[in-house]
């Protein structure tokens, strides 16, 4: 039986996608081999890769003057690739710090440039929140401003896109495709695939063309956006299976009605879970309302001594991977696109039963 998987990443994938992949596994489209066994330069594979890009462009309404790159190394390698690609002419950059991932990003960038760190995490009435932009000290000479839209570990998300005069570079690893996004507001959007796109091993980079000529001369060519763009993300062998499977997820999303439609489902899921937690005396979410994540819902139990039991019983009820990140503890339910509303209903039902028995 398939369980409901609330893992933060690698995360749940749509059942229909896994079934399609299973069906195509041994003999892809009657060609007598698996897609994993195909040359990335073959016409068949190139068509799969191009279709995935075209579908993503449709889903996100990505304009022509943006390149879409399918790379490797995770979002973490982009923490280095971004400064290497953008700080060749001007070595100054602004980094907004709201949690663990944005901190990792600026620590890598500090190797390559003069980084202005804006500490934007704060608390409102004891709840975590993001400081409004008028409280940030920005550098108007920065080559770009970097931020993490959704801090996956803290469950802390921006409620608006920063409004600045320099190119915006944003890590959307755990929020891409969860809600409509105006791509034209950004210089670069990037995301590791394993949260809301597909399997691990693929990293998506959406980059505006005018940013392709600012790389440092010492950048490895694999990391260089202009080289990857020129070679259709095939400077070397790409992560072919993850790219193919992400393409199946994009097809699935289009079948669901696209990003607007899945966003409505996501809103309903989040409302159900946060609503239950807020009404309960037994559970607590530590984030202020405007900055609550649509995708990652951390929560604590009134009785922390019962955490282990909560996780064991949840697992016995086919509700998997609810432990919080090892650095913060507590619980966390990641409710990405592939987790259906029924999964949240089952989770809330279990949480309520557990609270009744122990509250
Ligand atoms: C998971 C995550 C990362 C790291 O991703 P890797 O692909 O493991 O490098 C970076 N940023 C955010 C926001 C994440 O959620």
> Is 44 marked as a binding-site residue?
no
> In the CATH hierarchy, which top-level class contains the domain 15-256?
alpha beta
Confidence of residue 329 (pLDDT cuts 50, 70, 90): confident
Cα 140 to ligand 1 centre (Å) = 28
Cα 352 to ligand 1 centre (Å) = 31
Note the pLDDT tens digit of each residue in 85-116. Answer: 999 999 999 999 999 999 999 999 999 999 99
Question: Is residue 80 over pLDDT 90?
Answer: yes
Q: Is the CB of 174 under 6 A from ligand 1?
A: yes
Mean of the pLDDT values across residues 177-194? 98
Q: What angle do CA 8, 13, 14 make, to 5 degrees?
A: 140
Note the pLDDT tens digit of each residue in 37-60. Answer: 999 999 999 999 999 999 999 999
Q: Atom 10, ligand 1: which residue's CA is nearest?
A: 75
Q: Atom 12, ligand 1: which residue's CA is nearest?
A: 173
Note the pLDDT tens digit of each residue in 13-36. Answer: 999 999 999 999 999 999 999 999
242 burial class (0-12, 13-18, 19+ CB within 10 angstroms)? buried
Q: What is the pLDDT of residue 225?
A: 98
Q: Is the CB of 99 under 6 A from ligand 1?
A: no
Confidence of residue 359 (pLDDT cuts 50, 70, 90): confident
> Is 98 marked as a binding-site residue?
no
- Site to substitute for ligand 1 among 8, 74, 239, most atoms within 8 A of C-beta: 74
> Is 240 marked as a binding-site residue?
no
> Is 194 marked as a binding-site residue?
yes
Q: What angle do CA 179, 181, 186 make, to 5 degrees?
A: 145
Q: Is the CB of 98 under 6 A from ligand 1?
A: no
Residue range 257-358 in CATH 3.40.50.1470:
no
Confidence of residue 318 (pLDDT cuts 50, 70, 90): very high
Q: What is the pLDDT of residue 1?
A: 83
Q: Is the CB of 74 under 6 A from ligand 1?
A: yes
- Domain residue spans of the chain: 15-256, 257-358
Mean of the pLDDT values across residues 235-253? 98
90 CB-near residues (< 8 Å, 6+ apart)? 141, 142, 143, 214
Mean of the pLDDT values across residues 171-187? 98
Whether the model pTM is above 0.75 = yes
Long-range contacts, 118-124 (Cβ 8 Å, 24+): 118/94, 120/96, 121/97, 121/156, 123/288, 124/288
Residue positions annotated with a catalytic role: 101, 171, 195
């Amino acid at each position: 039986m398939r369980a409901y998987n609330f893992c933060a990443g690698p995360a749940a994938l749509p059942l229909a996608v896994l079934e399609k992949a299973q069906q195509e596994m041994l003999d892809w489209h009657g060609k007598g081999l698996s897609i994993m066994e195909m040359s990335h330069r073959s016409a068949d594979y190139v068509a799969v890769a191009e279709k995935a890009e075209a579908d993503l462009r449709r889903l996100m309404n990505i304009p022509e003057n943006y390149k879409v790159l399918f790379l490797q190394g995770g979002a973490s390698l982009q923490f280095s690739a971004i400064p290497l690609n953008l700080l060749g002419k001007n070595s100054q950059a602004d980094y907004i710090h709201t949690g663990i991932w944005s901190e990792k990003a600026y620590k890598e960038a500090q190797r390559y440039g003069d980084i202005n760190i804006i500490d934007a995490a704060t608390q409102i009435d004891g709840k975590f929140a993001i400081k409004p932009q008028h409280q940030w000290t920005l550098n108007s000479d920065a080559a770009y401003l970097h931020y993490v839209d959704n801090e996956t570990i803290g469950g802390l998300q921006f409620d608006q896109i920063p409004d600045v005069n320099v190119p915006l570079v944003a890590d959307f690893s755990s929020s891409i495709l969860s809600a409509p996004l105006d791509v034209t507001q950004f210089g670069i959007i990037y995301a590791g695939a394993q949260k809301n796109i597909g399997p691990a091993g693929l990293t998506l980079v959406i980059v505006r063309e005018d940013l392709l000529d600012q790389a440092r001369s010492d950048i490895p060519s694999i990391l260089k956006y202009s080289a990857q763009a020129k070679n259709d993300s095939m400077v070397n062998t790409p992560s072919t299976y993850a790219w193919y499977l992400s393409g199946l997820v994009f097809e699935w999303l289009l079948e669901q009605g696209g990003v607007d439609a899945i966003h409505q489902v996501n809103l309903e899921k989040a409302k159900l879970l946060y609503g239950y937690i807020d009404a309960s005396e037994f559970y607590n979410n530590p984030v202020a309302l405007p900055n609550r994540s649509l995708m990652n819902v951390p929560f604590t139990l009134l009785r922390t001594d019962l955490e282990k039991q909560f996780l064991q019983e949840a697992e016995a009820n086919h509700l998997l991977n609810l432990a919080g990140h090892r650095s913060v503890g507590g619980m966390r339910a990641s409710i990405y696109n592939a987790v259906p509303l029924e999964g949240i209903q089952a989770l809330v039902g279990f949480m309520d039963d557990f609270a009744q028995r122990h509250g």
